[in-house]
Structure 1
Amino acid sequence: MSQQQLTWGQALGAYLKPRVLTMFFLGFSAGLPLLLVFSTLTAWLRDFGVSRTAIGFFAWVGITFSIKVLWAPIIDQLRLPFFTDKLGKRRGWMLVSQVGIAIGLVGMASVNPQQSLMEVALLALWVAFCSASQDVAIDAYRIEAMDEDYQGAMAANYVFGYRVAMLIAGAGALFIADAFSWSGAYLMMAALMGVGVITCLVVSEPDHSKVNKEADKLQSEWEERLLGKGEHGRLKQWFIRAVVCPFVEFFQRNGRFALVLLVFIGIFRLSDIAMGIMANPFYLDLGFTKTEIAEISKLFGFFCTIIGSFLGGVLVVRYGVLRPLILGAVMVACTNLLFAQLALIGPDKAWLALVISADNISGGMANAVLVAYLSSLANKAYTATQYALFSSLMTLPGKFISGFSGIVVDAQGYAQFFIYAALMGLPAIFLSIYFWRRERRGWSEEQPQPG
């Protein structure tokens, strides 16, 4: 990340750049579907009497977000008829994905989970697939649209919009469901996808000419290595450019340390994601009403998340990215112990507020720092594929493990489950410390020695 020192006025002025402002609305569009196939969906299912074990298996719908790297090369390179010509390769894929999300949410609104649980699962899977595809396009747009000096502001506005959408898809959907119905809540969420559609039509496409030259050079090099000299078929050329080159470039740039980076990305949010699927069922089973959950967990938690995100950005500017990563890993793991204590105390609203504030501040800070770190690892010639690789690995282990969370809760109770979730955070803490010490050693070796 750039270490250029700016005045406070210059730093704040970055947030007024048109493309930086745009990231709030694109972040909103990206964040809206997530809870609708995750914690809000689990509250809907539990409210209709679906078993906790079945709810736990719904966590595997979220694995779709964790394997988006499998089709990210297609989004990175494939031209969509009409849409790419009219909007460009990033905005074209954004628009198609947004329309797909809205259609899926309308479908979910028309289904009764008690009568057609499998149909709910398939529609949730479709929404998750379209949402993950939108994430690939938006992440690529965010990294390509502005220079590195503005990536902090771009990420901050993206996270802010994302969290506003999660507030609406979380607390807003619960309020609507309490006052009207779950179908009405999901129809309203489908209509709000119009925010993303309008933004996509208004913004301009990034300039890809410079990064395309870099990609062409690497593609030619690997075509010769893998296929030899001469003319090659278009499919082979596309496969090398879209699939081979993004991964080769990452490993060439980082060497064997690339594997350590990928392991770290995979385990950093393990503790946080593994417990997330059981949060709303936990609150309901503890005795809190949906309105109390919306007011404390979603509404109050939203402002705590914004505070945490702002804190993460300030710490990155002041101390760099690695020390805040250590702090974030420690805080996220420790907040699970507070959930374990709440399970023993019972439905105490003061304790719920304490737990929610700690959880959302630590989660907001850790997420903002991690987004900045992952953005710095991606080469702009292959932003969609490389960032999809990072963000897929960031959630895959946690999503897989969380699928068994209902079994653990049914067998051993909530308190023991949250203790296990806290222990899952230890590897991320140790690796964060290792990265920081490694950077310090490298920095020391580069300094001139006294004569």
Structure 2
Amino acid sequence: MPNAARPANATLILLAALYCAQGLPSGLIAHSLPSLLRQQGVDLAWIGLLKLLALPWLLKVLWAPWVDRMASPRLGHHRGWILPLQGLVVLCLAGLALLDPDRLFSSQFVLLIGVLLVVNLAAATQDVATDGLTVRLLPERWRGLGNSLQVGGYKVGMLLSGSGLLLVADGLGWNLSLALLALILAALTLPIWRFDERTQLPFQPARAEQAFGPRLLLAHYRGLLAQPGMLAWLAVVLTFKLGDALGSPMIKPMLVDHGWSNAELGQLTLISSLAGIGGALLGGLLYARLGALKSLLLFGALQAAGICSLAVLASHGASAWAVYPLALFEQVADGMSTVALFAVMMRQCRAEHEGADFTLQASAQLILAGLVGASSGLLAKWFGYQSLFVGAGVLGVMVLGVVIYYFALAQPRREEPAAG
């Protein structure tokens, strides 16, 4: 639907609220809790185990087909998953807000880990339903804008529960801070509560696999991989962000080696996150005009240039006047390229398979990028920061050849969305 009108404001508010809600638990676990736990004297080994709580986000691909296949007759398909799961997260946060933090961080630490695991499991499963709903709600031309809301909303949620929680924790205390977080999440539930999915997007089970049990997993993903050109597209998904994955983990270590303090790094993180949100919004608007191929090539080139430009800091020092322009440019380009990739991933999703199809692509991209990112420290140690950033930029340009190859292969089957 290349000429479809822009989605209604109510639709955009709904999607922004859902993705912001998903960012709240992630910011709490990834940014706030490590600092709060350490302040309470929790051992570093236990704090490190918080990383394992992210496993549901990697493993959700195993149960995503059931999210696509099962629907609530009363609440609707995706809404029938999102409402109960988001409500469960609200209850978990409210429950933690009622507990004594001194005991929670010591004798009840196992309880804290268990509750946070439930939170991540619920949030990861909800993400499958939210992505499926987004694909169905948005015409192809406006999926860039939808992914702007995804990237931007998620980052806003992380900032609220990460930096925001740390800012108010000393004044309000643990209990009131968590209660405030639960209230914000409850408020973000209102748009999906008011959304009448059964009328606007009725479930069509005849278009989904009829297999049940373990066979459903195999049937679902075998059907996706059998789509024309899907293997070539997966090559794009796996490689498009590799340059960024290789270089970005070493930005802060490089700045630390140049003498940056925690406060300076925190300020840079906040400002660059806001720049990334702006880049995501800009990328979504440009995607509607440029189409898929031009967006991937242009934003991918900017992404490669952004990460490569950081080599200047490694060789000529990291004064604030040099760091901020380059770091902000890198974050803007990262937001734009992420939006373009996610938007094209959405157009690969089949009807009534949207959630799991998108999840498989996202999981594949995340796993390989994680493995490449894990090697960045070793490569920086061997070759230095400057060589690492230059190499990451070169890699970012090289993988654009995979994009060109895929679209050359796909052009006879599917035309580009018309520019605005």
Give TM-score scaled by structure 2 length.
0.77
Aligned in 2, Cα 1:290/1:389: closer, same or farther, shift over 3 Å?
same
1:193 and 1:389 map into 2 onto residues whose CA distance is 27
Distance in 2 (CA, whole Å) between partners of 1:45 and 1:418 is: 33
Match of 1:373 among 326, 344, 349: 344
Following the alignment from structure 2 to structure 1, what is the Cα–Cα distance between the partners of residues 374 and 157? 25
Cα distance in 1 for residues equivalent to 2:62 and 2:360: 8
Which AA in structure 1 matches 2:308? L
**Structure 2 match to 1:228:** none
Alignment match of 2:236 (pick from 261, 264, 274):
264
1:201 aligns with 2:193: yes
How many angstroms apart in 1 are the aligned matches of 2:11 and 2:175? 35
Asked if the contact 2:64/2:356 (under 8 Å) is kept, the reply is: yes
| Deviation sequence 1:68-89 (CA, Å, 0-9, x none) | 211112222245xxxx354223
1:227 alignment partner in structure 2: none
Does the aligned pair in 2 maintain the 1:56–1:403 contact within 8 Å?
no
Cα distance, 1:443–1:194 mapped onto 2, change above 3 Å: closer
Which sections of structure 2, spanning at least 5 residues, go unmatched?
416-420
Residue in structure 2 matched with residue 231 of structure 1 by the alignment:
none
1:373-392, aligned counterparts within 5 Å? 373-392=344-363
Residue identity opposite 2:131 in structure 1: D
Which position in structure 1 is the counterpart of 2:299? Answer: 328
Q: Residue 89 of structure 1 is aligned with which of 64, 72, 77?
A: 77
The one-letter amino acid of 1:253's match is Q
Q: Quick one: distance in 1 between partners of 2:158 and 2:361?
A: 22
Deviates more, 1:350-359 or 1:107-116: 107-116
Partner Cα distance (1:274, 1:51) in 2: 30
- Asked if the contact 2:27–2:159 (Cα under 8 Å) also holds between the matched residues in 1, the reply is no
1:297 counterpart = 2:290: no
The answer for the alignment partner of 1:232 in structure 2 is none
Task: Go from structure 1 to structure 2 and tell me whether the alpha carbon gap of 1:53 and 1:40 turns closer, same or farther (over 3 Å shift).
Answer: same
* Counterpart-to-counterpart distance in 1, 2:382 and 2:201: 53
Q: Which amino acid aligns with 2:349?
A: A
- The structural deviation recorded for 1:324 is 1.6
**Counterpart of 1:429?**
400
- Which structure 1 residue ranges, 5 or more long, are not aligned? 220-235, 445-451
**SS state at 2:205 partner:** helix
1:37 paired to 2:8: no
Q: Which SS does the other structure have where 2:196 is aligned? A: coil
Q: Separation in 1 of the partners of 2:89 and 2:251? A: 24
In 2, distance between residues paired with 1:332 and 1:115?
Answer: 46
Q: Which amino acid aligns with 2:226?
A: Q
CA distance, structure 1, for counterparts of residue 26 and residue 399 of structure 2: 24
CA gap of 1:281–1:166, structure 2 versus 1, over 3 A, is farther
Q: How many Å apart are 1:308 and its aligned residue?
A: 1.8
Q: 1:394 aligns with which of 340, 361, 365?
A: 365
Corresponding position of 1:247: 221
1:103 is displaced (CA, Å) by 5.5
How far apart are the structure 2 equivalents of 1:338 and 1:179?
Answer: 40
**1:1-150 matches, cutoff 5 A:** 2-4=1-3, 14-38=6-30, 61-78=53-70, 84-102=72-90, 107=96, 110=101, 125-148=117-140, 150=142
Q: Do the aligned partners of residues 163 and 436 (structure 1) sit closer, same or farther apart at CA in structure 2, a change above 3 Å counting?
A: same
Report the AA paired with residue 205 of structure 2.
N
Q: What SS does the corresponding residue of 1:253 show, helix, strand or coil?
A: coil
Which amino acid in 2 is paired with 1:136?
V
Cα deviations by residue, 1:30-62 (Å, 9 ceiling, x for unpaired): 233333333556666788899999988865654
Kindly tell me: are residues 413 and 199 of structure 1, through their superposed partners in 2, closer, same or farther at Cα, counting changes over 3 Å?
Answer: farther
Could you list the per-position Cα deviations for residues 385-421 of structure 1 after superposition, in whole angstroms to 9, with x for gaps in the alignment? Answer: 1111112112122234445666667888766665665
Root mean square deviation of aligned Cα: 4.3
2:20 maps to a residue whose letter is: F
Preserved CA contact (<8 Å) 1:98 1:196: no
Q: Tell me the TM-score normalised to structure 1 length.
A: 0.73
Q: Residue type of the partner of 2:345?
A: L
Which stretch shifts more, 21-30 or 191-200? 191-200
What residue in structure 2 maps to residue 307 of structure 1?
A: 278
Mapped contact 1:43–1:280 kept (Cα < 8 A): no
Q: Secondary structure at the match of 1:381?
A: coil
Residue 94 of structure 1: how far off its partner (Å)? 1.3
Residue 449 of structure 1 corresponds to none
Give the AA of the match of 1:92: G
Q: Report the Cα offset of residue 26 of structure 1.
A: 1.3
Q: Secondary structure at the match of 1:380?
A: coil
Q: Which residue of 2 aligns with 1:213?
A: 206
Query: 1:425 aligns to what SS in structure 2?
Result: helix
Q: Are the counterparts in 1 of residues 149 and 281 from structure 2 also a CA contact under 8 Å?
A: no
What is the rounded CA distance, in whole Å, between the counterparts of 1:308 and 1:34 in structure 2?
21
Q: Is the 8 A contact 2:236 2:406 kept in 1?
A: no
How far 1:366 sits from its partner (Å)?
0.7
2:290 is matched with which residue?
Answer: 319
Quote the Cα distance in structure 2 between the aligned partners of 1:55 and 1:414.
28
Query: Helix, strand or coil for the counterpart of 2:2?
Result: coil
Using a 3 Å threshold, how does the CA distance of structure 1 residues 379 and 285 change in structure 2: closer, same or farther?
same
Report how far residue 379 of structure 1 moved.
1.0
Worse overlay, 59-68 or 411-420: 411-420
Provide the rounded CA distance (Å) in 2 between the counterparts of 1:423 and 1:48.
44
